Structure 1
Amino acid sequence: MTVVPFEALACPLDAIPLVREGRLWRCATGHSFDIARQGYVHLLPVQNKRSRDPGDSKLMVTARQRFLEAGFYQPIADAVIQTALDGVASGATVSCLDAGCGEGYYLRQLASAAGEHTLSLLGLDISKWAVLAAARQDDRPNWVVGSNANLPVLPASLDRILCLFGFPVYPEFARVLKPGGKLIQVDAGQDHLRELREIIYPEVRAESKKVAEAPEGFRRIRTEDVRFSLHLAGSEPITDLLAMTPHLYRASHEGRERASVLESLSLTVDVCLHTFERNGTDDRA
C-alpha cells in the first residue's frame, strides 16, 4: 500500500487550483494558506464560519478518539473499507475524501487496509480540534479544516467520498466526484444506540435516517444494514460514547446523570451504509 499526497485542492476564495510551495499552499491570484506545524492546512474562510469555533469540541474529539481506537466500531470500518475498495483494480490509484473526517479513524483504517492500491487521501472537517488530532496521529493523508458546503477541492477530482455520520452536501459531492465515482454514506438506523437513548431521554422516537431516494446527480448502487451488539464495561467507554455524540447536548441534565452512574451497558449498533455512484455526465462541474 502506498499513500501519496492529495494535490487537487482548490482555493476557498476563488476556487482555482492551489499549489504547494514549501510550508504553504498558494493559488495563482496570490492567496496563500500556511501549513501548520502539525501538518494540516486551514481552508475555511472566516466569512463561512457560523461561530468562532465550529464543529466538534476538543472534549468530543478526545472522547471519540478513545472510543474508536478501542475498536468498538470496527465492523463499521470493515464494511466501509470493503465498499470503498470494491471494484478497484490492483495497482490502481484511488483518490478519497473523508468529508467530516473527525479525528481521522476511518481514513487511517482505509490506509492500513489498502493492499496493492495507491491511495491519495484527504480528510476534511469543520472542527479544527478534529483535524489537529487527525494530523497528529498520521501524516500520510492531507488534513484540511474546511466545510462540506464549500469543499476546497477541484471539480471531478475524486474517486471516492466517505460521509460517515456526517452532514452530506450532495451538490458539492457531485461537483468534486469523477463521473462513476462513489459516495459511501453511513447513517444511524432507528435502533442505533437505542439502549442508551432509552436511559437519557424520557421518550425514544423510532426514526430511520435511510435515504429514500438517490440524491440528484447520483444513482444508488446498494444499501446495506450493519447491525451488531456491543458491550461496554466500565464507566469510561460509556462516558466517551455519550460525549462523542450529539446526545450529550440533547439530553436533559437528569438524563446525563442517569448515564453517568452506569458501570456497564449492552447496546445495539444499527447503521445503514449507502453506496451511490456519480452519474456519468459532468453536469455539475
Structure 2
Amino acid sequence: MQTKVERRMESISELGILQCPKCRGKLSVEGRSLKCQSGHTYDFSKKGTVNFVLGYGEENYSKDMLEARRKLMRLGLFEGILDRIADAVAESGISKPVILDAGCGEGTGLEYLDEKLKEKGIEARLLGIDISSGGITIAGRTEKDILFFVADLGSLPFSEQSLDFVINMFTPASYREFRRVLKPGGKVLKVVPEREHLIELREAYGLKEYSNDEIVAHMAENMSVVSRERISTTFDAEGHGDELLLMTPMLWGKTEGKSALAPKSVTVSASLFILE
C-alpha cells in the first residue's frame, strides 16, 4: 500500500504543472524531492507537502491560532461562502477542474470543498498554497487527495495557463500571477469581506467600521468583474468565544481580560467576485 507521501508524489507527477519559483523551469519528482533542470531542489515533508519558500514567512501565525481557525471552520464558520464557491465551479460545466486555493491557511476550506464538489459529481484536482508553514503542516494531515505547498503569492509554483480556478478568500491577491497561471477562460473566485463581516466583534471591542473600497478598486483595476454576489450568514459562536478571538487578526492584542465581551453569534458577510 502506498504511503501518503508516495500518493502525493504520484499525484504531482500525473498533474505535471509544477514550476520552479526561482527559475520557472519545470519541476519533476526525483526520489523524495522536486527538482528542476537548473538544480533547484525542494524536498517532500513527511506529510507529502513541499516548502518553496524556506527561510522566510514561516512564523506569521501561531499553532494555537491555526487550530482555532480549523475548529471553527469545521463547525461551519464559512460554509455559506464555500457552498457558493462549489456552485460557481459546478456552473462552469468543467467536470475535472484544477483549482488552487491561494491563501488556504490550514486547509480546512479545501477539505470541505472537496466533499461538496464530489457530491455534485465533480472530480476536481485541488491545490492549496499558503505562506504559513504552520498552516501547511496542519493541512498536510488530511488523507484527501489534496496537494499543499508553502509558497509565495507573488511567485506561484505553477506553469502558465495550468489552472481553471483560483480561489482567493479573505487574503491578499497577486493578480499578475493569477492571470499567468489561469487557463484561457479561467476564473478567479475572490471573496472580500463586507462592512457587516464580524461586526459584532468590532462593536464589542471598539474597532472602527470596515470598508472594502480599496480592495474592490484594486481588483477592478487588474481584472474584469464578471459578477458580484453578496453572501451573509450567522454563525453560532456560543461556547467558542476563545477560538473566535484567537483566530481573528484584527483583535490580536486587543482582548486581554475582555473575553467575556465575545458575542454569542457573529455575522459572516462577504461578496463573492468572479473575475477574469
TM-score scaled by structure 1? Answer: 0.85
Match of residue 175, structure 1, among 173, 176, 180 = 180
| Aligned position for 1:198 | 203
| Aligned position for 1:273 | 272
Written as runs of structure 1 = structure 2, the 5 A alignment for 1:108-257 is 108-115=111-118, 116-201=121-206, 203-209=207-213, 211-212=216-217, 214-215=219-220, 218-234=223-239, 237-249=240-252, 251-252=253-254, 255-257=255-257
Calculate the aligned-residue CA RMSD, in Å: 2.1
Using the alignment, how far apart are the partners of 1:247 and 1:168 within structure 2?
Answer: 19
The structure with the greater share of residues assigned to helix is 2
Structure 1: runs of 5 or more not aligned: 278-285
Change in Cα spacing, 1:248 to 1:30, as seen in structure 2 (3 Å) is: same
Using the alignment, how far apart are the partners of 1:197 and 1:45 within structure 2?
Answer: 36
The structure with the greater share of residues assigned to strand is 1
| Aligned position for 1:280 | none
| Aligned position for 2:33 | 24
Deviates more, 1:149-158 or 1:208-217: 208-217
Using the alignment, how far apart are the partners of 1:30 and 1:79 within structure 2?
Answer: 42
| Aligned position for 2:73 | 68
1:170 touches 1:215 (CA, 8 Å); kept in 2? Answer: no
Tell me by how many angstroms 1:139 deviates.
Answer: 4.3
Number of aligned residue pairs:
262
Using the alignment, how far apart are the partners of 1:136 and 1:268 within structure 2?
Answer: 30
Structure 2: runs of 5 or more not aligned: 1-7
TM-score scaled by structure 2? Answer: 0.87
Tell me by how many angstroms 1:172 deviates.
Answer: 0.9
1:98 touches 1:123 (CA, 8 Å); kept in 2? Answer: yes
State the Cα deviation string for residues 17-48 of structure 1 (Å, max 9, x = none).
101124211111222211001110011153xx
Using the alignment, how far apart are the partners of 1:177 and 1:216 within structure 2?
Answer: 18
Using the alignment, how far apart are the partners of 1:144 and 1:191 within structure 2?
Answer: 32
For the residue of structure 2 that corresponds to 1:118, the secondary structure is coil
Tell me by how many angstroms 1:84 deviates.
Answer: 2.4
Structure with bigger RCO (C-alpha 8 Å, 6+ apart): 1
Tell me by how many angstroms 1:263 deviates.
Answer: 7.0
Tell me by how many angstroms 1:206 deviates.
Answer: 4.2
Aligned residue identity for 2:176: P
Using the alignment, how far apart are the partners of 2:136 and 2:219 within structure 1?
Answer: 30
Tell me by how many angstroms 1:119 deviates.
Answer: 1.7
State the Cα deviation string for residues 144-187 of structure 1 (Å, max 9, x = none).
00110111111111100001111101111111111210000111
Aligned residue identity for 2:113: L
**2:12 matched to 1:13?**
no
Change in Cα spacing, 1:179 to 1:216, as seen in structure 2 (3 Å) is: farther
Tell me by how many angstroms 1:217 deviates.
Answer: 5.6
Aligned residue identity for 1:160: F
**2:70 matched to 1:103?**
no
